[in-house]
Amino acid sequence: MALEYDLVVLGGGTGGYVAAIRASQLGLKVAVVEKEKMGGTCLHKGCIPSKSLLRSAEVFKQTKNAEQYGIETENTSLNFIKVQERKQSIVDQLHKGVEGLMKKGKIEVFEGFGRILGPSIFSPTAGTISVERNDGEENTIIIPKNVLIATGSKPKSLPGLELDGEMVLSSDHALNLEELPESILIVGGGVIGIEWASMLVDFGVQVTVVEYADRILPTEDEEVSKEVKRLLKKKGIKIVTGAKVLPDTLDKGDQVSIKAEHNGDEKAFTADKMLVSVGRAPNVDNIGLENTDIVVENGAIKTNKFYQTKESHIYAIGDVIGGMQLAHVASHEGIVAVEHMANEEPLPINYDHISTCIYSNPEVSSVGLTEQQAKEQGYDVKVGKFSFQAIGKALVYGEKDGFVKIVADKKTEDLLGVHMVGPHVTDMIAEAGLAKVLDATPWEMAHTIHPHPTLSEVMGEAALAVDGKQIHG
């Protein structure tokens, strides 16, 4: 007997479960199909566990350096098993919370792998869902009025760098390490690679980063990338940019090694483990797209601004549609999609207003255009930049490296972008995000009185610096 719902969400990750909750609030009868655990990659294999490990690495580093704060410690050691246990306890607690939210919203959760069927005896249009159940029972057939595809993404690799989970790791594998290697080679200097490099070096691992582009964090403002590289090298990380990993050079024995072309020469790199962090690919395989008219471009599902696919009753959000591939983006895409299918007339998302965060040490965050992007788009820009070295709270924390950079339109005074590197900047970027949403100017940001002493004072000083009026610099 087929079950009927107003909405079936394929994937119970951050985007999927948030969309399900919003749909429930709007009075829709909702079901979620999840092949593993509610919370998805972000909760179990990404955002939360990696940030737990990063926090442990930060505390370990601070404890070793406690003498500078007047605190004497002896024989500081790392118990990585307990680090992993703490990570798992946080994940488990949040997982229970998500399950509780499903019960609160009367949202049915089907544990299994869902596939979209074509027109059949159940429905004249594509969209009926067949669930291959985890418990081995007969497949469940679900007939929804609407479908939301939120199947997320998976780690990519490179030709010749097959992931084996032992010597050649993805970030999924690395999260479950039982012990730390003495050395690691990280292929890819983007967000994931740099977070892992920062974490592992703080744990005492010898780290080498090999990046194909001419700089690490190539999507960030160039000055931010330069500062992060300087500070990571200061920690002891070896960073090689402009390096192309050569196919079929992987060698695994007691250690793992590859060769890369760098400045016209062939160079070998060897370490105990290798972490491949070259991006993530949308999960579009085997979910029944071939039974629909849904268009897939460059491996991602194509949608309109309300996340409708070519099948108007089937929507898609999050990593599976490409784009920014961030948990907070997927959540808001899910809300917009659900409100649109419920005829609520939501506003489309302005992606220029979305903040991004990198949780390395130092942290990085940004919103809007980089200086280079602004110039490429024809803006006559003016820039304000202010260092944490002149901020009292940064000195109190013992973290004075980094800066805030504000990019503005010289003609209109409009705020174009804010870029930050330094202590706790991922917690401060929301102010800049709100400024973008409200179309604020640097003048207005400067006249927001920031309390003293706080790290947030750097925002006011950087805004003043746009017109050369900074007080402490």
For the chain, the average pLDDT equals: 96
Q: What is the pLDDT of residue 124?
A: 87
Q: Would 168-278 and 362-465 be classified into the same CATH topology?
A: no
Query: Residue 302: which of 285, 284, 286 has the closest Cα?
Result: 284
Secondary structure (3-state) at 163: coil
Say which residues have a Cβ less than 8 Å from residue 238's Cβ, sequence separation at least 6.
207, 208, 209
Residues 280-333 pLDDT 10s: 999 999 999 999 999 999 999 999 999 999 999 999 999 999 999 999 999 999
Binning pLDDT at 50, 70 and 90, where does residue 120 land? confident
Does 1 have pLDDT greater than 70?
no
Distance CA 151, CA 14 (A): 10
Percent of the chain's residues with pLDDT above 90:
96
For the domain with range 362-465, which CATH number is right: 3.30.390.30, 3.30.70.270, 3.40.47.10, 3.40.50.970?
A: 3.30.390.30
Does 74 have pLDDT greater than 90?
no
The CATH architecture one would assign to domain 3-154+281-341 is 3-Layer(bba) Sandwich (3.50)
Distance CA 385, CA 213 (A): 26
Q: What is the pLDDT of residue 22?
A: 98
Q: What is the pLDDT of residue 460?
A: 97
Q: For residue 338, what are its two tokens? A: 């659900």
Mean pLDDT of all residues in 449-473: 97
Residues 198-245 pLDDT 10s: 999 999 999 999 999 999 999 999 999 999 999 999 999 999 999 999
Q: What is the pLDDT of residue 247?
A: 87
Q: What is the pLDDT of residue 2?
A: 79
- pTM here is 0.95
Distance CA 422, CA 345 (A): 39
Residue range 168-278, CATH number: 3.50.50.60
Q: For the chain, what are the domain ranges?
A: 3-154+281-341, 168-278, 362-465
Distance CA 269, CA 184 (A): 10
Does 473 have pLDDT greater than 90?
no
Percent of the chain's residues with pLDDT above 70:
100
Q: What is the pLDDT of residue 379?
A: 98
The answer to whether 452 is a known catalytic residue is yes
Q: Catalytic one among 328, 419, 452, 472?
A: 452
